[in-house]
């Protein structure tokens, strides 16, 4: 994914493409597949914390463009965007946790025994869609930040839907 002209239309098209490729999998599998993004994001921030003290972290950080975003001037320039990104990632992760928990409950209980599960399960496709489109927007924003592009993804619509 690259920092192209960001916008909801591109995120929407990318999300539909992802959903089509994962169409034969359960909703939880779709979410888990995309939550691999969290690993990449965590890897990036781990390298950013240790690049000044660990030679290997510094080398890996250069490959992953960590120095681009962790320079003091870049941090100052992108502070609000980084905070917004972190908050949206945390909110998205909470939704992913809820989806996984609901699926776990569904696999252990009959819907007839727990009728409150039915409406939540009916909402799965919508929730998974918003998780995926939000992750697409996050990745686009992250790419823009690490390449020091002046293009930005407006994350507020995704934040409103995911929370």
Question: What string of pLDDT tens digits covers the 163 residues of the chain?
Answer: 445 545 667 778 888 888 888 888 887 777 776 667 767 677 777 777 776 777 887 787 777 766 666 666 776 777 788 888 889 988 988 988 888 888 888 888 888 888 888 898 888 888 888 888 888 888 888 777 777 667 777 888 888 988 8
What pLDDT does 61 receive? Answer: 74
The pLDDT, as a whole number, for residue 91 is 92
Give the pLDDT score at 153.
76
Distance, in Å, from the CA atom of 43 to the CA atom of 66, rounded to the nearest integer, reads 10
pLDDT value for 117: 86
- Token pair in block for residue 133: 């489109």
Question: How far is the C-alpha of 108 from the C-alpha of 102, rounded, in Å?
Answer: 10
Which of 46, 37, 42, 45 has its CA nearest to residue 1? 37
Q: Give CA–CA dist 71/48, Å, rounded.
A: 10
């Amino acid at each position: 994914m690259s920092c192209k002209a960001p916008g909801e239309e591109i995120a929407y098209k990318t999300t539909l493409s992802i959903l089509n490729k994962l169409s034969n999998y359960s909703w939880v599998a779709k979410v888990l597949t995309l939550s691999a993004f969290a690993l990449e994001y965590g890897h990036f921030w781990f390298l950013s914390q240790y690049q000044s003290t660990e030679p290997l972290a510094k080398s890996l950080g250069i490959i992953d463009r960590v120095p681009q975003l962790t320079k003091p001037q870049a941090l100052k320039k992108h502070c609000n965007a980084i905070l917004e990104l972190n908050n949206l990632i945390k909110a998205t992760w909470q939704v992913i946790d809820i989806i996984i928990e609901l699926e776990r409950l569904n696999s252990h209980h009959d819907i007839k025994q727990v009728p409150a599960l039915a409406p939540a399960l009916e909402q799965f496709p919508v929730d998974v869609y918003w998780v995926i489109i939000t992750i697409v927007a996050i990745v686009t924003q992250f790419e823009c930040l690490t390449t020091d592009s002046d293009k930005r993804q407006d994350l507020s619509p995704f934040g409103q839907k995911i929370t």
